[in-house]
Amino acid sequence: MSGEFLRLLVTDYTLRTVTLGAALLGLTSGTLGAFAVLRRQALLGDAVAHATLPGIALAFLLTLSKAPLILLLGAAVSGWLGTLLVLAVVRNTRIREDAALGLILSVFFGLGLVLLTRIQKMPLASQAGLDSFLFGQAATLMVGDVQAMALLAAPVLLLLVLLWKEWKLISFDPEYGATLGYRVRLLDTVMTSMIVVAIVIGLQTVGVVLMSAMIVAPAAAARQWTDRLSVMVGLSAFFGALAGVCGAILSSSTSQLPTGPSIVVIISLIVAFSLAFAPNRGLVWDWVRQARNRSRLRLDTVLGNMMLLARQHEEADYGHKAAAIGALSGGRIGIEARLRELRREGFVEMDRQGDWHLTAKGVARCEMIVKKWEP
Protein backbone atom coordinates (compact mmCIF):
# COMPACT_ATOMS: atom_id res chain seq x y z
CA MET A 1 0.00 0.00 0.00
CA SER A 2 2.77 2.41 0.95
CA GLY A 3 4.71 1.43 -2.15
CA GLU A 4 1.70 2.09 -4.34
CA PHE A 5 1.19 5.48 -2.71
CA LEU A 6 4.85 6.43 -3.22
CA ARG A 7 4.56 5.47 -6.86
CA LEU A 8 1.45 7.63 -7.24
CA LEU A 9 3.15 10.48 -5.39
CA VAL A 10 5.89 10.47 -7.99
CA THR A 11 3.77 9.84 -11.09
CA ASP A 12 0.40 11.45 -10.29
CA TYR A 13 0.60 15.19 -10.98
CA THR A 14 -2.48 16.16 -8.95
CA LEU A 15 -1.63 14.09 -5.89
CA ARG A 16 1.97 15.30 -5.88
CA THR A 17 0.98 18.94 -6.22
CA VAL A 18 -1.76 18.80 -3.58
CA THR A 19 0.48 16.93 -1.13
CA LEU A 20 3.32 19.41 -1.53
CA GLY A 21 0.98 22.37 -1.16
CA ALA A 22 -0.70 20.90 1.93
CA ALA A 23 2.66 20.06 3.52
CA LEU A 24 3.96 23.57 2.86
CA LEU A 25 0.78 25.04 4.35
CA GLY A 26 1.06 22.91 7.48
CA LEU A 27 4.75 23.63 7.92
CA THR A 28 4.39 27.40 7.65
CA SER A 29 1.18 27.81 9.63
CA GLY A 30 2.41 25.44 12.33
CA THR A 31 5.70 27.28 12.73
CA LEU A 32 4.18 30.76 13.03
CA GLY A 33 1.07 29.56 14.82
CA ALA A 34 3.26 28.58 17.78
CA PHE A 35 4.09 32.25 18.34
CA ALA A 36 0.46 33.30 17.88
CA VAL A 37 -0.64 30.87 20.59
CA LEU A 38 2.17 31.84 22.98
CA ARG A 39 1.35 35.53 22.51
CA ARG A 40 -2.35 34.83 23.18
CA GLN A 41 -3.32 35.89 19.67
CA ALA A 42 -5.18 32.75 18.65
CA LEU A 43 -8.21 34.80 17.56
CA LEU A 44 -5.98 36.89 15.32
CA GLY A 45 -5.74 34.02 12.85
CA ASP A 46 -9.49 33.90 12.45
CA ALA A 47 -9.78 37.65 12.00
CA VAL A 48 -6.94 37.88 9.49
CA ALA A 49 -8.24 34.90 7.49
CA HIS A 50 -11.61 36.56 7.08
CA ALA A 51 -10.00 39.93 6.38
CA THR A 52 -8.19 38.53 3.34
CA LEU A 53 -11.40 37.93 1.39
CA PRO A 54 -11.93 41.50 0.10
CA GLY A 55 -8.27 41.62 -0.97
CA ILE A 56 -8.78 38.57 -3.17
CA ALA A 57 -11.86 40.12 -4.74
CA LEU A 58 -10.24 43.52 -5.29
CA ALA A 59 -7.10 41.94 -6.77
CA PHE A 60 -9.29 40.19 -9.34
CA LEU A 61 -11.34 43.31 -10.09
CA LEU A 62 -8.21 45.39 -10.67
CA THR A 63 -6.36 42.86 -12.82
CA LEU A 64 -9.11 40.52 -14.12
CA SER A 65 -6.56 37.77 -13.52
CA LYS A 66 -6.76 34.67 -11.35
CA ALA A 67 -3.00 34.23 -11.26
CA PRO A 68 -2.28 32.74 -7.81
CA LEU A 69 0.48 35.17 -6.91
CA ILE A 70 -1.71 38.21 -7.71
CA LEU A 71 -4.65 36.93 -5.69
CA LEU A 72 -2.44 35.93 -2.76
CA LEU A 73 -0.74 39.34 -2.77
CA GLY A 74 -4.16 40.97 -2.70
CA ALA A 75 -5.13 38.73 0.22
CA ALA A 76 -1.89 39.59 2.03
CA VAL A 77 -2.43 43.34 1.66
CA SER A 78 -6.02 43.10 2.84
CA GLY A 79 -5.16 40.86 5.78
CA TRP A 80 -2.29 43.11 6.75
CA LEU A 81 -4.49 46.21 6.67
CA GLY A 82 -7.05 44.41 8.80
CA THR A 83 -4.34 43.52 11.30
CA LEU A 84 -3.08 47.11 11.46
CA LEU A 85 -6.63 48.31 12.05
CA VAL A 86 -6.99 45.87 14.95
CA LEU A 87 -3.73 47.08 16.49
CA ALA A 88 -4.73 50.73 15.97
CA VAL A 89 -8.13 50.22 17.56
CA VAL A 90 -6.64 48.46 20.59
CA ARG A 91 -3.91 51.06 21.10
CA ASN A 92 -5.99 54.20 20.57
CA THR A 93 -9.38 53.31 22.01
CA ARG A 94 -10.82 51.57 25.03
CA ILE A 95 -12.07 48.68 22.93
CA ARG A 96 -10.51 45.38 23.98
CA GLU A 97 -8.61 43.18 21.56
CA ASP A 98 -11.26 40.46 21.29
CA ALA A 99 -13.93 43.04 20.45
CA ALA A 100 -11.65 44.72 17.91
CA LEU A 101 -10.91 41.36 16.28
CA GLY A 102 -14.60 40.56 16.03
CA LEU A 103 -15.35 43.98 14.57
CA ILE A 104 -12.67 43.85 11.87
CA LEU A 105 -13.49 40.22 11.06
CA SER A 106 -17.14 41.01 10.49
CA VAL A 107 -16.60 44.18 8.46
CA PHE A 108 -13.93 42.76 6.16
CA PHE A 109 -15.66 39.42 5.66
CA GLY A 110 -18.95 41.15 4.86
CA LEU A 111 -17.19 43.42 2.36
CA GLY A 112 -15.54 40.40 0.80
CA LEU A 113 -18.85 38.57 0.37
CA VAL A 114 -20.40 41.67 -1.23
CA LEU A 115 -17.52 41.94 -3.71
CA LEU A 116 -17.61 38.22 -4.52
CA THR A 117 -21.35 38.41 -5.14
CA ARG A 118 -20.78 41.37 -7.44
CA ILE A 119 -18.02 39.52 -9.31
CA GLN A 120 -20.17 36.42 -9.81
CA LYS A 121 -22.80 38.57 -11.54
CA MET A 122 -20.32 40.12 -13.95
CA PRO A 123 -20.36 38.82 -17.55
CA LEU A 124 -16.85 37.42 -17.31
CA ALA A 125 -15.80 33.82 -17.83
CA SER A 126 -12.70 34.26 -15.69
CA GLN A 127 -14.55 34.94 -12.45
CA ALA A 128 -15.48 31.28 -11.92
CA GLY A 129 -13.88 29.59 -8.92
CA LEU A 130 -13.14 32.64 -6.79
CA ASP A 131 -15.67 31.48 -4.22
CA SER A 132 -13.45 28.42 -3.61
CA PHE A 133 -11.35 30.64 -1.35
CA LEU A 134 -14.16 30.45 1.23
CA PHE A 135 -13.67 26.76 1.99
CA GLY A 136 -10.61 25.95 -0.08
CA GLN A 137 -10.23 23.72 -3.10
CA ALA A 138 -6.90 21.98 -2.86
CA ALA A 139 -7.66 19.70 -5.80
CA THR A 140 -7.30 22.71 -8.11
CA LEU A 141 -3.76 23.47 -6.96
CA MET A 142 -1.27 23.80 -9.79
CA VAL A 143 2.52 23.88 -9.73
CA GLY A 144 2.32 27.66 -10.07
CA ASP A 145 0.17 27.82 -6.93
CA VAL A 146 2.68 25.81 -4.93
CA GLN A 147 5.52 27.95 -6.25
CA ALA A 148 3.65 31.09 -5.19
CA MET A 149 3.12 29.60 -1.73
CA ALA A 150 6.81 28.74 -1.48
CA LEU A 151 7.78 32.21 -2.68
CA LEU A 152 5.77 33.76 0.15
CA ALA A 153 6.84 31.24 2.80
CA ALA A 154 10.61 31.28 2.20
CA PRO A 155 11.41 34.86 3.34
CA VAL A 156 9.06 34.53 6.32
CA LEU A 157 10.72 31.34 7.58
CA LEU A 158 14.16 32.83 6.94
CA LEU A 159 13.26 35.94 8.96
CA LEU A 160 11.99 33.70 11.74
CA VAL A 161 15.38 32.00 11.97
CA LEU A 162 17.43 35.18 11.71
CA LEU A 163 15.52 36.99 14.47
CA TRP A 164 14.86 33.97 16.67
CA LYS A 165 16.12 35.68 19.85
CA GLU A 166 13.89 38.70 19.29
CA TRP A 167 10.78 36.59 18.66
CA LYS A 168 11.45 34.60 21.79
CA LEU A 169 11.81 37.78 23.82
CA ILE A 170 8.59 39.47 22.66
CA SER A 171 6.66 36.22 23.06
CA PHE A 172 7.46 35.84 26.76
CA ASP A 173 8.50 39.22 28.15
CA PRO A 174 7.96 42.19 25.81
CA GLU A 175 8.29 44.67 28.68
CA TYR A 176 11.78 43.42 29.47
CA GLY A 177 12.62 43.59 25.76
CA ALA A 178 11.58 47.24 25.72
CA THR A 179 13.92 47.99 28.65
CA LEU A 180 16.77 46.44 26.65
CA GLY A 181 16.14 48.86 23.80
CA TYR A 182 14.33 46.56 21.39
CA ARG A 183 11.61 48.18 19.28
CA VAL A 184 8.91 45.89 20.61
CA ARG A 185 6.03 47.56 18.77
CA LEU A 186 7.82 47.21 15.43
CA LEU A 187 8.73 43.59 16.16
CA ASP A 188 5.14 42.90 17.15
CA THR A 189 3.90 44.33 13.87
CA VAL A 190 6.44 42.30 11.89
CA MET A 191 5.49 39.08 13.66
CA THR A 192 1.82 39.76 13.03
CA SER A 193 2.61 40.42 9.36
CA MET A 194 4.40 37.07 9.19
CA ILE A 195 1.30 35.36 10.58
CA VAL A 196 -0.71 37.12 7.86
CA VAL A 197 1.57 35.56 5.24
CA ALA A 198 1.14 32.11 6.82
CA ILE A 199 -2.63 32.52 6.60
CA VAL A 200 -2.51 33.72 3.01
CA ILE A 201 -0.50 30.66 2.01
CA GLY A 202 -3.29 28.33 3.10
CA LEU A 203 -6.29 30.14 1.65
CA GLN A 204 -6.51 28.13 -1.55
CA THR A 205 -6.02 24.84 0.32
CA VAL A 206 -8.33 25.10 3.34
CA GLY A 207 -10.08 28.42 2.70
CA VAL A 208 -10.92 31.51 4.71
CA VAL A 209 -13.33 29.77 7.06
CA LEU A 210 -11.04 26.92 8.17
CA MET A 211 -7.65 28.61 8.01
CA SER A 212 -7.66 29.72 11.64
CA ALA A 213 -7.62 26.06 12.70
CA MET A 214 -4.30 25.57 10.91
CA ILE A 215 -2.80 28.45 12.88
CA VAL A 216 -4.02 27.39 16.32
CA ALA A 217 -4.35 23.59 16.27
CA PRO A 218 -0.74 22.48 15.51
CA ALA A 219 0.61 24.84 18.17
CA ALA A 220 -2.01 23.75 20.71
CA ALA A 221 -1.05 20.12 20.13
CA ALA A 222 2.69 20.85 20.34
CA ARG A 223 2.29 22.81 23.58
CA GLN A 224 1.09 19.67 25.35
CA TRP A 225 4.35 17.83 24.70
CA THR A 226 7.05 20.30 25.74
CA ASP A 227 7.99 23.42 27.69
CA ARG A 228 10.83 24.46 25.34
CA LEU A 229 10.10 27.01 22.62
CA SER A 230 12.37 25.47 19.98
CA VAL A 231 10.87 22.01 20.49
CA MET A 232 7.37 23.43 20.45
CA VAL A 233 7.93 25.28 17.17
CA GLY A 234 9.47 22.16 15.62
CA LEU A 235 6.62 19.93 16.78
CA SER A 236 4.03 22.46 15.65
CA ALA A 237 5.58 22.56 12.18
CA PHE A 238 5.74 18.75 12.09
CA PHE A 239 2.12 18.33 13.20
CA GLY A 240 0.96 20.88 10.63
CA ALA A 241 2.88 19.22 7.79
CA LEU A 242 1.73 15.76 8.92
CA ALA A 243 -1.91 16.86 8.93
CA GLY A 244 -1.47 18.39 5.47
CA VAL A 245 0.04 15.25 3.97
CA CYS A 246 -2.40 12.87 5.69
CA GLY A 247 -5.37 15.06 4.70
CA ALA A 248 -4.21 15.07 1.08
CA ILE A 249 -3.78 11.28 1.10
CA LEU A 250 -7.18 10.73 2.72
CA SER A 251 -8.87 13.03 0.25
CA SER A 252 -7.21 11.40 -2.75
CA SER A 253 -8.18 7.91 -1.62
CA THR A 254 -11.86 8.74 -0.98
CA SER A 255 -14.19 10.17 -3.59
CA GLN A 256 -16.13 13.36 -2.84
CA LEU A 257 -13.97 14.11 0.22
CA PRO A 258 -12.56 17.67 0.11
CA THR A 259 -8.94 18.13 1.08
CA GLY A 260 -9.26 21.25 3.26
CA PRO A 261 -11.77 19.83 5.73
CA SER A 262 -9.83 16.54 5.75
CA ILE A 263 -6.68 18.38 6.82
CA VAL A 264 -8.57 20.16 9.59
CA VAL A 265 -10.08 16.89 10.80
CA ILE A 266 -6.62 15.27 10.92
CA ILE A 267 -5.07 18.13 12.88
CA SER A 268 -8.07 18.07 15.23
CA LEU A 269 -7.41 14.38 15.91
CA ILE A 270 -3.76 15.19 16.61
CA VAL A 271 -4.87 17.85 19.10
CA ALA A 272 -7.28 15.42 20.78
CA PHE A 273 -4.57 12.75 21.05
CA SER A 274 -2.11 15.29 22.47
CA LEU A 275 -4.60 16.55 25.03
CA ALA A 276 -5.25 12.98 26.14
CA PHE A 277 -1.84 11.31 26.04
CA ALA A 278 0.94 13.93 26.23
CA PRO A 279 3.21 12.83 29.13
CA ASN A 280 3.20 16.01 31.23
CA ARG A 281 -0.20 17.53 30.46
CA GLY A 282 -2.24 14.69 29.01
CA LEU A 283 -5.62 14.11 30.64
CA VAL A 284 -5.16 10.34 30.70
CA TRP A 285 -1.77 10.50 32.41
CA ASP A 286 -3.10 13.14 34.79
CA TRP A 287 -5.92 10.78 35.74
CA VAL A 288 -3.40 7.94 36.20
CA ARG A 289 -1.22 10.13 38.42
CA GLN A 290 -4.18 11.20 40.51
CA ALA A 291 -5.37 7.60 40.88
CA ARG A 292 -1.83 6.56 41.89
CA ASN A 293 -1.65 9.39 44.44
CA ARG A 294 -5.02 8.43 45.90
CA SER A 295 -3.90 4.82 46.18
CA ARG A 296 -0.63 5.88 47.85
CA LEU A 297 -2.54 8.08 50.28
CA ARG A 298 -4.81 5.19 51.27
CA LEU A 299 -1.81 2.93 51.84
CA ASP A 300 -0.01 5.59 53.89
CA THR A 301 -3.19 6.05 55.95
CA VAL A 302 -3.19 2.32 56.77
CA LEU A 303 0.47 2.50 57.79
CA GLY A 304 -0.20 5.51 60.00
CA ASN A 305 -3.12 3.81 61.71
CA MET A 306 -1.03 0.68 62.33
CA MET A 307 1.61 2.85 63.97
CA LEU A 308 -1.08 4.54 66.09
CA LEU A 309 -2.41 1.15 67.24
CA ALA A 310 1.08 -0.12 67.95
CA ARG A 311 1.98 2.91 70.06
CA GLN A 312 -0.99 2.19 72.32
CA HIS A 313 0.89 -0.98 73.27
CA GLU A 314 4.26 0.80 73.37
CA GLU A 315 5.64 -1.59 70.75
CA ALA A 316 6.26 -0.35 67.19
CA ASP A 317 5.81 -3.82 65.74
CA TYR A 318 2.78 -4.86 67.81
CA GLY A 319 0.40 -6.85 65.63
CA HIS A 320 -3.33 -6.34 65.03
CA LYS A 321 -6.05 -8.08 63.12
CA ALA A 322 -7.09 -6.70 59.77
CA ALA A 323 -10.55 -5.92 61.18
CA ALA A 324 -9.10 -3.62 63.83
CA ILE A 325 -6.88 -1.85 61.32
CA GLY A 326 -9.82 -1.51 58.91
CA ALA A 327 -12.08 -0.08 61.60
CA LEU A 328 -9.55 2.68 62.23
CA SER A 329 -8.96 3.21 58.50
CA GLY A 330 -12.57 3.95 57.57
CA GLY A 331 -14.00 0.48 57.07
CA ARG A 332 -13.00 -3.09 56.44
CA ILE A 333 -13.78 -2.98 52.70
CA GLY A 334 -10.54 -3.24 50.78
CA ILE A 335 -8.30 -3.39 53.85
CA GLU A 336 -7.05 -6.90 53.05
CA ALA A 337 -5.98 -5.82 49.56
CA ARG A 338 -4.18 -2.78 50.95
CA LEU A 339 -2.36 -4.85 53.54
CA ARG A 340 -1.27 -7.32 50.88
CA GLU A 341 0.01 -4.43 48.75
CA LEU A 342 1.96 -3.07 51.74
CA ARG A 343 3.40 -6.54 52.34
CA ARG A 344 4.59 -6.70 48.73
CA GLU A 345 6.33 -3.37 49.31
CA GLY A 346 7.96 -4.71 52.47
CA PHE A 347 6.23 -2.34 54.91
CA VAL A 348 4.17 -4.92 56.84
CA GLU A 349 4.13 -8.65 57.51
CA MET A 350 1.62 -11.16 58.89
CA ASP A 351 2.41 -13.71 61.60
CA ARG A 352 1.03 -17.20 62.04
CA GLN A 353 -1.88 -15.93 64.13
CA GLY A 354 -3.01 -13.68 61.30
CA ASP A 355 -1.88 -10.46 62.99
CA TRP A 356 -0.33 -7.73 60.88
CA HIS A 357 2.91 -6.05 62.03
CA LEU A 358 4.94 -3.12 60.84
CA THR A 359 8.42 -4.01 59.60
CA ALA A 360 11.46 -1.85 60.27
CA LYS A 361 10.99 -0.44 56.80
CA GLY A 362 7.34 0.28 57.61
CA VAL A 363 8.25 2.08 60.83
CA ALA A 364 10.74 4.25 58.92
CA ARG A 365 8.06 5.00 56.33
CA CYS A 366 5.62 6.03 59.07
CA GLU A 367 8.16 8.37 60.63
CA MET A 368 8.75 9.97 57.24
CA ILE A 369 4.99 10.41 56.71
CA VAL A 370 4.61 12.05 60.13
CA LYS A 371 7.41 14.51 59.35
CA LYS A 372 5.86 15.32 55.97
CA TRP A 373 2.40 15.89 57.43
CA GLU A 374 3.54 17.92 60.41
CA PRO A 375 2.85 21.69 60.06
Domain ranges of the chain: 10-280, 284-373
List the chain residues with pLDDT less than 50.
Answer: 1, 125
- The topology under which CATH files domain 284-373 is Arc Repressor Mutant, subunit A (1.10.10)
The secondary structure element, H or E, covering residue 70 is: helix 68-92
What residues are paired with 350 via a beta bridge? 356
Q: Is the dihedral of CA 283, 288, 294, 300 positive or negative?
A: negative
CA gap 50, 28 in Å, rounded: 18
143-150 — which CB contacts under 8 Å span 24+ positions?
Answer: 143/17, 144/67, 144/68, 144/69, 145/17, 145/21, 145/68, 145/204, 146/17, 146/20, 146/21, 146/24, 148/68, 148/69, 148/72, 149/21, 149/24, 149/25, 149/28, 149/68, 149/72, 149/201, 150/24
Strand partners, 207: none
pTM confidence score: 0.79
User: What is the predicted pLDDT for the residue at 217?
Assistant: 92
CATH superfamily of 10-280: ABC transporter involved in vitamin B12 uptake, BtuC (1.10.3470.10)
Rounded to whole angstroms, what are the CA distances from 169 to 55, 144, 178, 186, 191? 32, 37, 10, 13, 12
Residue 120 CA, distance from chain mean position? 37
pLDDT digits (tens, 9 = 90+) for 329-368: 666 667 888 888 888 888 888 888 888 888 888 888 888 8
- Asked if domains 10-280 and 284-373 share a fold, the reply is no
